[in-house]
Amino acid sequence: MTLVLTDDQQLLRDTAQQFAADRAPPGELRRLRDTNDAVGFDRAVWKEMADMGWAGVLIPEDHGGVGFGHVGAGLIAQQIGRNLSVTPMLSTAVVGATTLLAGGSAAQKSLLPQIAAGDLVLAAAFDERPRHAPLEITTRAVRSGTGYALSGRKTHVLDGHVADHLIVSARLSGETGDRDGLALFLVNPRAPGVSIERVTAVDSHNTAIVELRDVAVAAGDVLPATSTAQVIEAALDAGRAWLAAEMLGIAEEAFERTLGYLREREQFGVLIGSFQALQHRAAYLYCEIELLRSAVLRALQALDAAEQGAAKLVCVAKARACEVARLATNEAVQMHGGIGMTDEFDIGFFMKRARAAAETFGDQYYHTDRFAGLAGY
């Protein structure tokens, strides 16, 4: 398989690059943070993204999307990373849409055209622990009349405070950590017994804590997946690949901004870019970013081809992205010197987003361990 973009993919990348820079640049993240915006993203800009096909990038055409696949989604994610654009793409168009496609009923998949149109925000409520452990599920679903009653607590629910629907994982039977005995439920966030607390993360993006107390769910709102654990992992792998591509974009932008600074900042009467020590650090970072680019594209291609080893390639991409994005943003702050530490300068925003994205859906240590497990160790 060649690690080369097609003409259509290159066009998508270039269009996404221009749109994100014009309509959702880093300054927009700063505005949302400083105004403590109640939504956390610009709904008008999100609608424009949907009109361009972004919200339907993973949704097939027969469900109202454009079906451009994971490589297409990754190209968008890369530009979102470069511009720190705040959107519900990850929660809704990637994890949410993939969950419905992999495990939803025909009636539940009728939500997909609304997602593709940018008219619906979907939030997956899988995690319950301080760190990512999606199958460590204690939330319980018990029979109640013709439906179920859900009780439990979910953490790190991306865009949960503005979601139109929640997808909640719960345990029908078995013990915490068991892969069997699980189910997914579509839950109305305004239903009696649901309470949602908005949490603004260090990167000024929003998650939520969702409390469920005997929440009534109809039988028709249960996703009829044969293997709930497989659906959860498929949805999360789509999200992990997206995050790897986003962190690639963060690393690229931090690197380019740093190179620009090295070419203009003078010390002792000479440009600091002429210092050999800084040149060596920049050259090393360039090589790391190029290796990450290959790992990310390969993982995205594997997901599109539904390769048997796709999950392992996603682990490699996410683990490497965590490490390279951390290195790139650390180097950016250090090479910018004092101004790199100030809030008025945008570099700090890239560092914060890199840290938060690394923790989302598993950091490099989680994916190193997961890779070993998938490889039979």
pLDDT along the chain (377 residues), means of 10: 81 94 97 96 97 97 96 98 98 98 96 98 97 96 96 98 98 92 97 97 96 97 94 98 98 96 86 89 97 97 96 98 98 90 92 98 97 95
Residue-level pLDDT at 1: 62
**Pair type for strands 122-125 and 165-171:** parallel
Question: Token pair for residue 109?
Answer: 């998949």
CA 294, CA 271: separation in Å to the nearest integer? 32
CA 49, CA 317: separation in Å to the nearest integer? 26
Contact 87, 96 (CB under 8 A): no
CA 148, CA 217: separation in Å to the nearest integer? 5
Spatial CA neighbour of 195 closest among 157, 235, 138, 236: 157
Return the ∠ at Cα 316 (arms to 250 and 59), rounded to 5°.
70
Instruction: Count Cα atoms within 13 angstroms, Cβ side, for 110.
Output: 4
Residues contacting 79, CB < 8 A, separation 6+: 13, 16, 17, 19, 20, 21, 85, 249
Contact 108, 187 (CB under 8 A): no
pTM for this model (two decimals):
0.96
In eight-state DSSP terms, residue 166 is: E
Question: Token pair for residue 31?
Answer: 């505005």
- Domain coordinates of the chain in residue numbers? 7-119, 123-226, 229-374
Q: How many helices (H) and strands (E) does the chain have?
A: 11, 9
The 3-state DSSP class for residue 181 equals: coil
Q: What is the dihedral of CA 146, 214, 128, 200, to 10 degrees?
A: 120
Residues contacting 127, CB < 8 A, separation 6+: 133, 134, 154, 155, 156, 157
CA 21, CA 45: separation in Å to the nearest integer? 12
Is residue 69 classed exposed, middle or buried when 0-12, 13-18 and 19+ CB atoms within 10 A define those classes?
A: middle
Spatial CA neighbour of 121 closest among 219, 200, 55, 201: 55
> Sign of torsion, CA 325 33 235 302?
negative
Query: DSSP strand E in the chain: where?
Result: 122-125, 140-144, 147-154, 165-171, 182-187, 194-200, 206-217, 266-267, 270-271
Say whether domain 7-119 belongs to CATH 1.10.3730.10.
Answer: no
Tell me which residue has tokens 């997901």: 303
Residue-level pLDDT at 270: 87
Say whether domain 123-226 belongs to CATH 2.40.110.10.
Answer: yes
* CATH class belonging to 229-374: mainly alpha
Measured between alpha carbons, how far is residue 42 from residues 39, 73, 85, 194 in Å? 7, 20, 10, 25
7-119 and 123-226 agree in CATH topology: no
Question: Token pair for residue 158?
Answer: 């991306």
